[in-house]
Amino acid sequence: MIKAKAVLFDFDGVVVNSFEVHYKAWKDAFFELFQKDLGTFPDNLEGKSPMIISECLCDLVGKKEQAKILYDLKGEKLHSGTTPPKLLPGVKEISNLLKEQKIPYGIASNATKQFISNSIQQLEIDFSVFFGVEDYKFPKPNPQPYIMLAKALGIAEADFGNVIVFEDSVAGATAGIEAGMIAVGIETQHSAEVLKKAGCAYSFPTLLQAQELLIK
């Protein structure tokens, strides 16, 4: 067990599996803007901020200067969608456990804040503190998102070494580690070997198994 001062969550790949809803929004926006099929979503863009993804997708057709237009169009399609992402195992159980133990928790994600808010409401999950990509000057892998979230939860920098960060991406794990926190891998995107090589102290298939770190 870790005596955690706070627990911080990434969103995509940790709390939800939102690949299908994001992919559909990117695909629809890409086709509307360029009249071309996006095809398979590039693996190397997983976990990146939406603007970086947009720049890379526009670069595929030699139209990088239209990245902001694609970004905005994708956001419109994503935020107007009525199909929620899939809730991953253990989310409700671990949030209940954290409330019982009076451990503050929240979300810091490279997803948009409106998408996170919509998903929380649609899935009826208990997260009252959350940050999206618009809230940061520097998104992950920069540590700023997790530093901002920890401070919003009332955690002093001196206690960052006792803050748990649940992450599924190498970029996110890097952000947590550079913030001086304990990165714990969730194996939805990468293997335990990859996550531990990235610096994760522990690795679990889902949050359901990761609860053992918090059970007294």
Where residue 160 sits, what CATH number does that domain have? 3.40.50.1000
Clarify whether residues 117 and 69 are in a common domain: no
* Paired strand residues for 204: 186
Residue 84 in tokens: 């929620």
Clarify whether residues 128 and 143 are in a common domain: yes
pLDDT digits (tens, 9 = 90+) for 127-169: 999 999 999 999 999 999 999 999 999 999 999 999 999 999 9
Clarify whether residues 149 and 166 are in a common domain: yes
pLDDT value of residue 136? 95
Residue type, 157: E
φ, ψ dihedrals at 120, nearest 5°: -60, -45
pLDDT band at 186, cuts 50/70/90? very high
Residue 25 in tokens: 């929004």
Q: Which structural domain range is residue 24 located in?
A: 19-79
Clarify whether residues 143 and 46 are in a common domain: no
Clarify whether residues 134 and 66 are in a common domain: no
128 part of a folded domain:
yes
CA angle 98-118-71, nearest 5°?
120
190 part of a folded domain:
yes
Q: Cα-atom radius of gyration of the chain, to the nearest Å?
A: 17
Clarify whether residues 65 and 139 are in a common domain: no
Residue 47 has pLDDT above 70, yes or no: no
Clarify whether residues 106 and 67 are in a common domain: no
Strands 163-167 and 130-131, by their bridges, are: unpaired
Clarify whether residues 106 and 59 are in a common domain: no
Kindly report the average pLDDT of the chain as a whole number. 94
Q: What percent of the chain is predicted at pLDDT more than 90?
A: 84
Domain count, the chain: 2
Clarify whether residues 68 and 152 are in a common domain: no
Clarify whether residues 117 and 191 are in a common domain: yes
Q: Angle, nearest 10°, between helix axes 50-60 and 67-79?
A: 120
pLDDT value of residue 216? 61
Clarify whether residues 10 and 116 are in a common domain: yes
1 part of a folded domain:
no
> By CB neighbour count within 10 A (0-12 exposed, 13-18 middle, 19+ buried), where does 51 fall?
middle
Clarify whether residues 105 and 50 are in a common domain: no
CA angle 158-141-41, nearest 5°?
150
134 part of a folded domain:
yes
- Picking from 58, 79, 100, the residue at the C-terminal end of a domain is 79
Residue 212 has pLDDT above 80, yes or no: yes
Distance in angstroms (rounded) separating the CA atoms of residues 100 and 97:
5
pLDDT digits (tens, 9 = 90+) for 192-207: 999 999 999 999 999 9
